[in-house]
Amino acid sequence: MGTSVSHREVGAREGSRLAPAAGREQVRYWSPALIFLLWAAIYFAAIFTPALLDDVDTIHAEAAREMVLRGDWVTLYTNGIRYLEKAPLMYWGVALSYEIFGVKDWSTRLPLISGVLLLLLATYLLGKYAYGERGGLYASVVLSTSLGPYIFTRFQIPDLIVALWLTLTAFFFLHSLEEERPSRETCWALSATCAMNVLTKGLIGLVFPLAAIFLYLVITRNLQHLLKLRPVSSMLVFLAIAAPWHILAALRNPGAGAARGFLWFYFVNEQFLRYLGKRVPPGYDTVPLVIFWGLTLLWLAPWTFFLPESLALVPRWRGLREKLPRTQAASLFFLVWAVVTVGFFSFSTRQEYYTIPAIPALALLVGGWLERERRLAPGELRRGRVSSWMLAGLVLVGSVVGLALLVSSKAPAPGADLADLLEKNPQDYDFSLGHFLDLTPEALGVFRPQLIAAVVTLLIGTTANLWLRYRRKPEYGNAILACMMVALLAAVHSAFVKFSPILSSKQLAIEIQKHHHPGDVVVIDGEYHQASTLNYYLQERVRVLHAPSGNLWYGSKFPDAPKVFETPSSFAELWNSPETVFVWTDQEHPKNLEGLPRYLLAHSGGKAIYTNRELTR
**Statement: residue 409 has pLDDT above 90:** no
Backbone angles phi, psi at 221, to 5 degrees: 55, 50
**Statement: residue 448 has pLDDT above 70:** yes
What pLDDT is recorded for position 431? 57
What pLDDT is recorded for position 277? 79
Q: Is residue 190 domain-resident? A: yes
Q: Is residue 175 domain-resident? A: yes
The Cα–Cα gap between 39 and 116 comes to 8
What pLDDT is recorded for position 27? 46
Question: 438, 470, 500: which is the final residue of a domain?
Answer: 500
The Cα–Cα gap between 43 and 180 comes to 41
Residues 208 and 340 in one domain: yes
What pLDDT is recorded for position 22? 33
What pLDDT is recorded for position 150? 95
**Statement: residue 24 has pLDDT above 80:** no
Question: 444, 477, 500: which is the final residue of a domain?
Answer: 500
What pLDDT is recorded for position 2? 36
**Statement: residue 433 has pLDDT above 70:** no
Q: Residues 78-134: pLDDT tens digits?
A: 999 999 989 999 999 999 999 999 999 999 999 999 999 999 999 999 999 999 999
Residue 360: exposure state from Cβ atoms within 10 A (0-12, 13-18, ≥19): buried
Q: Is residue 152 domain-resident? A: yes
What pLDDT is recorded for position 191? 96
**Statement: residue 258 has pLDDT above 60:** no
Residues 447 and 534 in one domain: no
Give the model's confidence band at 467: pLDDT under 50 very low, under 70 low, under 90 confident, else very high: very high
Percentage with pLDDT > 70 across the chain: 88
Lowest mean pLDDT among 271-280, 326-335, 574-583: 271-280
Question: 377, 402, 425: which is the final residue of a domain?
Answer: 377
**Statement: residue 506 has pLDDT above 50:** yes
Query: Average pLDDT, stretch 61-85?
Result: 95
Lowest mean pLDDT among 225-239, 308-322, 324-338: 308-322
Say what the pTM is: 0.90
Residues 517 and 496 in one domain: no
Residues 201 and 346 in one domain: yes
Q: Is residue 430 domain-resident? A: yes
Query: Average pLDDT, stretch 366-378?
Result: 85
DSSP 260: P
Q: Is residue 383 domain-resident? A: no
What pLDDT is recorded for position 312? 86
The DSSP annotation for 329-386 comes to: HHHHHHHHHHHHHHHHHTTS---TTTTGGGHHHHHHHHHHHHHHHTTS-GGGGHHHHH
DSSP 315: P
**Statement: residue 319 has pLDDT above 70:** no
Residues 543 and 478 in one domain: no
Residues 197 and 335 in one domain: yes
Listed in sequence order, the residues at least 6 apart from 565 whose beta carbon sits closer than 8 Å to its beta carbon are 543, 544, 545, 546, 547, 548, 556
Q: Which residue has the higher pLDDT, 17 or 140?
A: 140
The Cα–Cα gap between 433 and 609 comes to 25
**Statement: residue 10 has pLDDT above 60:** no
Residues 171 and 276 in one domain: yes
Looking at the structure of the chain, the number of domains it has is 3
What pLDDT is recorded for position 16? 39
Lowest mean pLDDT among 232-241, 246-255, 259-268, 279-288: 279-288
Q: Is residue 372 domain-resident? A: yes
Report strand pairing: 521-524 vs 543-544.
Answer: parallel
Bridge partners of 523, per DSSP, are: 543, 583
Give the model's confidence band at 256: pLDDT under 50 very low, under 70 low, under 90 confident, else very high: low
Lowest mean pLDDT among 19-28, 135-144, 301-310, 506-515: 19-28
Residues 450 and 342 in one domain: no
Query: Average pLDDT, stretch 421-449?
Result: 67
Query: Average pLDDT, stretch 414-434?
Result: 64
Q: Is residue 107 domain-resident? A: no
The Cα–Cα gap between 56 and 53 comes to 8
Q: Is residue 239 domain-resident? A: yes
What pLDDT is recorded for position 352? 83
Residues 276 and 154 in one domain: yes
The Cα–Cα gap between 483 and 457 comes to 9
The Cα–Cα gap between 117 and 109 comes to 13
The Cα–Cα gap between 172 and 234 comes to 13
What pLDDT is recorded for position 322? 66
Query: Average pLDDT, stretch 546-552?
Result: 88
**Statement: residue 208 has pLDDT above 70:** yes
Element (H, E) at 604: strand 599-604
What pLDDT is recorded for position 415? 67
**Statement: residue 560 has pLDDT above 80:** yes
Report strand pairing: 77-78 vs 81-82.
Answer: antiparallel
Residues 238 and 365 in one domain: yes
Residues 290 and 265 in one domain: yes
What pLDDT is recorded for position 379? 63
CA distances from 301 to 240, 459, 473, 484, 496 (A): 39, 15, 21, 12, 19
Q: Which residue has the higher pLDDT, 554 or 430?
A: 554
Which residues span the domain enclosing 488? 393-500
What pLDDT is recorded for position 52? 96
Backbone angles phi, psi at 603, to 5 degrees: -145, 145
Residues 458 and 371 in one domain: no
